[in-house]
Amino acid sequence: MQGIYSNKTNTKKRINKDGMYLFVLALPFVIAVFLFNYLPLAGWIYAFFDYKPGIPLNKVPFVGLEKFADMIVNSEDILRVLANTLALSFLSILASPLPVGLAILITEVKSSKFKKVVQTITTLPNFIGWVIIFSLSFAMFSSEGVLNQAFMNLGLIQEPVNILGDEKNVWLFQTLLLIWKTVGWNAIIYLAAISGIDSELYDAAKVDGAGRFRSILHVTIPGVAPTFIVLLLLSVGSLLNAGSGMEQYLVFYNPMVANKIEVLDLYVYRQGLVINDYSFATAVGMLKTIVSVMLLFIVNSISKRVREDSII
Amino acid sequence: MKNSYKKFDGLAFDIINYIILTLLVIITVYPFYYILIYSISDTSMIHSGVTFLPAGFSLQSYKDVFALRGMASGAVVSLTRTVLGTLLTVICSTFFSYIVTKKELIFRKSIYRFVIVSMYFNAGFIPWYLTMKALGLRNNFLVYILPGAVTAFYIILIKTFIEQMPPALEESAKIDGAGYITIFVKIIFPLSKPIIATIAVFCAVAQWNAWTDNFFLVENPKLTTLQLILYNYLSQSQAISRASSRELTQGGIVRQLSPQAIKMTMTMVVTLPILLVYPFMQRYFVKGIMMGAVKG
């Protein structure tokens, strides 16, 4: 009897010792995550002071919620960048069925070689950085670019059109670029979903007299719908990221399109580092984070209720 | 009658499908093809523009680009951050993932959650910027590689992978008296190769493409990456002519450099590494998104 007890305590002690040792091993990584991901949260305190770079925080006046009130004062700007952000987000959500379409088209190809070529090539742009994409766009769409040259040679236009400086169509243009970059990559997940569909369903549809369109409509599309809905919900959760985050709009930013391309993240960066109003920029960024996290919780609870599964 | 109609319908579908996909392939490939033919064209023959074939052939633009100040050091910085950053992320993320799969670890669930939750929020630009500054990472090479060393998303993937390994593998080593670190180095790490390859490829591409950390936090020209050099050249067209004329007098060359040719060639130089490794890495990319989908 006693032997068993002492054995147990020994094991327990040993586990504790091992557990402590593992904890020590894990600690550096936990500290790294704390420093790079959690410590910046402490910077939210700057939103409540009138902070000027170079002056320590204890020497600048505490202003309470004044910086948040400034958002109402600057409501014209805030509403403008919010409209840009939401417009770009909605356009990218509107484009979200395109990868489904591409996946269906690729699946319908019979030649496996052609299939592979299409898949390999369309996935490539996802791994090309925005700086390079900006350079490619410049080569294609600027006043001296290929497109203008071709149209002028064909006599379709008299004067070159600077597409990169076209304020009216900048939302559409940026969305098209984002589609170009991501459509192939986003199609992969649907290709997997389609290959997971039970082939008996297709056979049954055929027996019932369904042609290709009908079996796509009644078998393939319902088969990928759950995946589509999860991704759609996630994209609603990142509504304030304007489709792709700030990098894309930072590289394509120029004075001609500034009014329409300045998304929330870009506005925060410019208010902070360019105009040097750190506190106001922090306040805006803080609200953005809070709203984003709330959105994520909302879509997650919708997902839980509708699909009985959480997405985060 | 009905059958032949159906057959035609199928054929029409195939034709339209092939046309759409071929167009998509062309739209994807052409910009890359264009900068390639532009960069290898003879700059004295290029004024009329190129469309489908290079105008003449010359590698002079490549010589000019590499002669530009900063290019060589930019290439070294970009390569270094890609190699070191990838190594560090792979080693840290894999080792940490292994530790959190151990049931003996105290506060195991809290530690794991603490790391994963970091994926779902960020403090915002200014607090991030000020924190990096406070940590002494401004104008510091470490800013390129440290912040991504423990990445929540990779940890989910690796942890899932390690948990699927048969526990017997580890137990026999434990009986032989091997400690956690030995087990990790000798057993877990080698057996995780498939997931490590996937993550390494993702990480390397992200490192190669990264430029905002450089843009916001590093002013030291010795630490400037290729991507930022390219960005600076693109965003300030005047800088191009200024810089190139400066290089002209320095090199004693009297020939006029074409700013557009320099831009295109520089873009090609920055893109080429990705284009070269991409065909070999593609299967890992695909694997990666599949594994991500399990959780997503």
The answer on pLDDT for B253 being more than 70 is: no
Three-class DSSP category at A62: strand
**Which pLDDT score is estimated for B50?**
81
Tell me how close the Cα of A298 comes to any Cα of chain B, in angstroms.
13
The answer on pLDDT for B21 being more than 80 is: yes
Look at residue A61 and tell me if it is in a domain.
Answer: no
**Which pLDDT score is estimated for B245?**
46
**Which pLDDT score is estimated for A237?**
85
Mean pLDDT of all residues in B212-224: 95
Cα dihedral sign for A204, A100, A185, B97?
A: negative
Structural domains of chain A, count: 1
If you search the block for the tokens 């190129």, which residue do you land on? B50
Q: Which residue of B has its CA nearest to A37?
A: B118
Residue B51 CB neighbour total at 10 angstroms: 13
pLDDT-derived band at B24, boundaries 50, 70, 90:
very high
User: Is B39 within 8 Å of B55 (Cβ atoms)?
Assistant: no
Look at residue A79 and tell me if it is in a domain.
Answer: yes
CB contact under 8 A, A281 and B125: yes
CA-CA distance, A304 to B64, in Å (whole number)? 59
**Which pLDDT score is estimated for B257?**
64
Residue B167, both tokens: 């526990």
CB contact under 8 A, B285 and A312: no
The answer on pLDDT for B287 being more than 90 is: no
User: Is B56 within 8 Å of B45 (Cβ atoms)?
Assistant: yes
List, as ranges, residues 77-136 from A with C-beta within 8 Å of B.
102, 105-106, 108-110, 114, 117-118, 120-125, 127-132, 134-136
Note the pTM of the prediction, 2 decimals: 0.89
Least confidently predicted of A179-188, A235-244, B157-166, B233-242: B233-242
CB-nearest partner of B31 from A140, A230, A268: A140
CB contact under 8 A, A128 and B126: no
pLDDT tens digits, one per residue of A195-228: 889 989 999 998 988 888 888 999 999 999 999 9
CB contact under 8 A, A150 and B260: no
B chain contacts of residue A251, beta-carbon cutoff 8 Å: 231, 235
Look at residue A13 and tell me if it is in a domain.
Answer: no
Kindly write down the DSSP assignment for every residue of B241-295, as one continuous string: HHHHHHHHHHHT--SPPPHHHHHHHHHHHHHHHHHHHHHHHHHHHHHHHHHHHHH
pLDDT tens digits, one per residue of B174-190: 888 888 999 999 999 99
User: Closest by alpha carbon to A139, among B71, B57, B51?
Assistant: B51
User: Is B224 within 8 Å of B103 (Cβ atoms)?
Assistant: no
List, as ranges, residues 22-51 from B with C-beta within 8 Å of A.
24-25, 27-29, 31-32, 34-35, 38, 49, 51
**Which pLDDT score is estimated for A9?**
57
Least confidently predicted of A39-53, A250-264, B3-17, B43-57: B3-17
CA-CA distance, B17 to A306, in Å (whole number)? 35
Q: Which residue of B has its CA nearest to A176?
A: B27
**Which pLDDT score is estimated for B241?**
44
Look at residue A114 and tell me if it is in a domain.
Answer: yes
pLDDT-derived band at A135, boundaries 50, 70, 90:
very high
Residue B198 CB neighbour total at 10 angstroms: 25
Mean pLDDT of all residues in A225-239: 90
pLDDT-derived band at A149, boundaries 50, 70, 90:
confident
User: Closest by alpha carbon to A23, among B183, B100, B189, B133?
Assistant: B100
A chain contacts of residue B14, beta-carbon cutoff 8 Å: 108, 110
> Which range of residues forms the domain containing residue A184?
73-307
The answer on pLDDT for A39 being more than 60 is: yes
CB contact under 8 A, B24 and A15: no
A-to-B residue pairs, Cβ atoms closer than 8 angstroms: 241
Assign residue A195 the CATH number of its domain: 1.10.3720.10
User: Who wins on pLDDT, A73 or B81?
Assistant: B81
CA-CA distance, B266 to B63, in Å (whole number)? 11
**Which pLDDT score is estimated for B249?**
45
Candidate ranges A36-50, B44-58, B276-290; pick with highest mean pLDDT = A36-50
B chain contacts of residue A136, beta-carbon cutoff 8 Å: 31-32, 34-35, 267
ipTM score here? 0.89
Identify the helix (H) or strand (E) that includes residue B230: helix B226-235
Look at residue A51 and tell me if it is in a domain.
Answer: no
Identify the helix (H) or strand (E) that includes residue B56: none
The answer on pLDDT for A271 being more than 70 is: yes
Look at residue A265 and tell me if it is in a domain.
Answer: yes
The answer on pLDDT for B223 being more than 50 is: yes
Look at residue A105 and tell me if it is in a domain.
Answer: yes
If you search the block for the tokens 């290898």, which residue do you land on? B40
A chain contacts of residue B211, beta-carbon cutoff 8 Å: 129, 131
pLDDT-derived band at A13, boundaries 50, 70, 90:
low
The answer on pLDDT for B131 being more than 80 is: yes
Mean pLDDT of all residues in B58-74: 90
> Which of A14, A15, A20, A22 is the mutation pick for testing B, counting most B CBs within 10 A?
A22
A chain contacts of residue B149, beta-carbon cutoff 8 Å: 29, 32
Mean pLDDT of all residues in B278-289: 75
pLDDT tens digits, one per residue of B102-116: 999 999 999 999 999
**Which pLDDT score is estimated for B9?**
63
Look at residue A219 and tell me if it is in a domain.
Answer: yes
C-alpha distances out from residue B98 to A26, B108, B186, Å: 10, 12, 13
The answer on pLDDT for B246 being more than 50 is: no
**Which pLDDT score is estimated for B232?**
92
Tell me how close the Cα of A1 comes to any Cα of chain B, in angstroms.
26
If you search the block for the tokens 């409501």, which residue do you land on? A75
Q: Does A291 touch chain B (CB under 8 A)?
A: no
Three-class DSSP category at A311: coil
